[in-house]
Amino acid sequence: MNHFTCFTSHSRRLLAHKRGRLAVQSGAIALLLFVSACDNQTQTPPSPGAESPAASGGGTLKLGTLLPITGDLAQYGGPMQDAAQLAVQTINGCGGVLGQDIELISEDDQTEPAAGAAAMTKLAEVDRVAGVVGAAGSAVSSAAVDIAVRNQVVEISPASTSPDFTARAEQGEFDGFWFRTAPPDTFQGDALAQLADQQGFQNVAVLGINNDYGNGLTQSFISAFKELGGTVTNESNPTRYAPDAATFDSELSAAFSGNPDAVLLIAYPETGSLILKAAQEQGLLDGETQIIMTDGMKTDNLGELVGQTANGQFITAGMLGTAPSAGGPAIAQFRELYTNEFNREPQVYDPNTWDAIAVLALAAESAQATTGTALKDAIRDVANAPGQDVDDVCEALALVRDGQDVNYQGASGSVDFDEQGDVAGSYDVWTISDSGRLEIQETITVGGDPDSPPEATSSPQ
9 pLDDT more than 70: no
Q: Confidence class of residue 185 from pLDDT cuts 50, 70 and 90?
A: confident
Q: Confidence class of residue 186 from pLDDT cuts 50, 70 and 90?
A: confident
Q: Distance (Å, rounded) from C-alpha 87 to C-alpha 75?
A: 20
Can you state the percent helix, strand and coil of the chain, rounding each to 5?
40, 15, 40
Say yes or no: 95 and 224 in one domain. Answer: no
Classify residue 31: in a domain, yes or no: no
pLDDT of residue 448: 42
| Number of structural domains found in the chain | 2
H/E stretch holding 337 reads helix 331-342
Say yes or no: 196 and 213 in one domain. Answer: yes
Please provide the average confidence, as pLDDT, over all residues in the chain. 87
* Domain at 85, CATH number: 3.40.50.2300
Say yes or no: 98 and 144 in one domain. Answer: yes
Say yes or no: 309 and 339 in one domain. Answer: no
According to the 3-state scheme, what is the secondary structure of 140-182? HHHHHHHHHHHCCCEEEECCCCCCHHHHHHHCCCCCCCEEECC
pLDDT (mean) for 223-235: 97
Q: Distance (Å, rounded) from C-alpha 445 to C-alpha 454?
A: 6
The DSSP symbol for 297 reads G
Say yes or no: 305 and 434 in one domain. Answer: yes
Q: Are 206 and 239 a contacting pair, CB within 8 Å?
A: yes
Q: Confidence class of residue 53 from pLDDT cuts 50, 70 and 90?
A: very low
Q: Are 331 and 351 a contacting pair, CB within 8 Å?
A: yes
pLDDT of residue 52: 43
Count CA atoms within 13 Å of residue 260 on its CB side. Answer: 27
Radius of gyration from C-alpha coordinates of the chain: 22
Q: Are 386 and 114 a contacting pair, CB within 8 Å?
A: no
The parent domain of residue 367 ranges over: 44-182+329-408
pLDDT of residue 459: 30
Say yes or no: 388 and 437 in one domain. Answer: no
Classify residue 25: in a domain, yes or no: no
Say yes or no: 168 and 303 in one domain. Answer: no
Classify residue 438: in a domain, yes or no: yes
SS3 state at 64: strand
Q: What are the tens digits of pLDDT across the range 375-418? A: 999 999 999 999 999 999 999 999 999 999 999 999 999 999 99
29 pLDDT more than 60: no
332 pLDDT more than 90: yes
Q: Distance (Å, rounded) from C-alpha 368 to C-alpha 339?
A: 33
Say yes or no: 311 and 376 in one domain. Answer: no
Classify residue 391: in a domain, yes or no: yes
Classify residue 95: in a domain, yes or no: yes
Classify residue 273: in a domain, yes or no: yes
pLDDT of residue 22: 37
Classify residue 39: in a domain, yes or no: no
Classify residue 15: in a domain, yes or no: no
Q: What are the tens digits of pLDDT across the range 204-224? A: 999 999 999 999 999 999 999
Say yes or no: 241 and 355 in one domain. Answer: no
Say yes or no: 189 and 168 in one domain. Answer: no
CA 86, 87, 88, 92 torsion: positive or negative?
positive
Say yes or no: 292 and 203 in one domain. Answer: yes
Q: Distance (Å, rounded) from C-alpha 78 to C-alpha 82?
A: 6
Say yes or no: 310 and 334 in one domain. Answer: no
